[in-house]
Amino acid sequence: MDIFVLLASFFVLIAVGVPVAYSMGLAAIVAALWVGIPLEAVMIKISDGVSKFSLLAIPFFVLAGAIMAEGGMARRLVAFAQVLVGAIRGGLSLVNILASSLFGCISGSSVADTSSIGTVMIPQMEKAGYPRVFAVNVTITGSVQAILIPPSHNAVIYSLAAGGTISIGSLFLAGVLPGVLLGASLIVLCLVIAHREGYPKGEPVPLRQALKAAVEALWGLFTVVIILGGILSGVFTATESAAVACVWAFLVTMLVYRDYRWRDLPHLVHRTVKTVSMVMILIAFASGFGYIMALTQLPAQVTQFFLTLSDNKYVILLLINVMLLVLGCLMDMAPLILICTPILLPVVVKFGVDPVHFGMIMLVNLGIGLVTPPVGATLFVGCAVGRVTMEQVTRKIWPFYLAMIVVLMLVTYVPAISLWIPNLFR
């Protein structure tokens, strides 16, 4: 009955339109009153949820990505990607995906990736003769790479949801190959579609222009070297690397690129603070919600339920994948990570699944949810940037879903894709 009160109050609040973060907080309070737990205990857990040094990585990474996004980095990465793959048939779609890969190494956000790359690439692809809906689908699915490729904000959230016992650096490294695999699968799909539909080839970029594009892009891409190089060398932690990356992004944008005006900087910081505030409120209330879940033994009950279904690890992972794909259609990524990780992680650990590997399974699943109706945040942004309706997009996006599902199955059932690089540095 205690579990029912907690979950019923949460879903009722969601149904009447209360934001997810506040629904978790209020549901935790309702369940605490039902069980007889002092509200002070819940409030302490809510406060403890955001009193962690590692959480500082999120605002720093968000700010660094925002500075680069608005400081001309997206345009320079598109130019660099054009040098590499623009001359192939369907080359602009490949430029779009590769630019998303490169920008994802800086932003760590699928929504920011879609907004920045889409603003540049969707009009350019349409002008070159590509259907606008195809351009939008390439943009939104390509931006899912940012969820996996370091520095992923959601990898930080997963680490916190797991109790801070999983290294953020290991999660960053684990996301490299799944992110590359996703990008490669989308590139293959776009090449097939381009040859079938007869999409145009691009023009080769002159050598001098190519060198200029490479140099300008490398200034921003050096941010990735700072983040991963600093963590792997032991010079600084993931949180400290975020702060250093933020300073580097500021210096490159304001002193090297110089496309951004100093008077606009306070507005950028204000928008970043609003974004981070929403994330922190979500994490705080999720901590209180998780505390009540633990007291009601919900994770143990779910583990027992899965054990009654099957004792086969692969069947359990398939069931979890189906569940996460469905939930990803109904709720945003960050709250699902915070809610599902404490519940599902004990289940998969019982079956011998590495927590870092499971983190990648969860991120790929919920990344697909970001481009799935009815509440896919990245899908909404892509439709707004491309000026198309959700119905137009969803009628043509099925081949892209298929490619992402194939990647999900590979990441799920081939643990080495996620664990090979982290194991090299253990």
Per-residue pLDDT tens digits for 161-176: 888 788 888 899 999 9
For 301, other C-beta atoms within 10 Å of its C-beta total: 12
- pLDDT score of 185: 95
Burial group, residue 190, by CB count within 10 angstroms (0-12, 13-18, 19+): buried
Per-residue pLDDT tens digits for 94-116: 888 988 888 887 777 888 888 88
Cα 92 to Cα 113: distance, rounded to the nearest angstrom: 16
| Contacts of range 119-123, beta carbons closer than 8 Å, 24 or more positions apart | 119/74, 119/385, 120/74, 120/75, 120/78, 121/78, 121/92, 121/95, 121/96, 122/385, 122/386
For 309, other C-beta atoms within 10 Å of its C-beta total: 10
- pLDDT score of 419: 94
Per-residue pLDDT tens digits for 397-424: 999 999 999 999 999 999 999 999 998 8
- pLDDT score of 150: 84
The set of residues, in sequence order, having a beta carbon less than 8 Å from that of 252 and lying 6+ positions away, is: 68, 71, 219, 220, 222, 223
- The separation between the first and the last C-alpha atoms of the chain, rounded to the nearest angstrom, is 44
Write the DSSP symbol of residue 387.
Answer: T
- pLDDT score of 262: 83
Mean per-residue pLDDT, 300-304: 77
Cα–Cα separations (whole angstroms), residue 129 to 67, 92, 233: 32, 10, 47
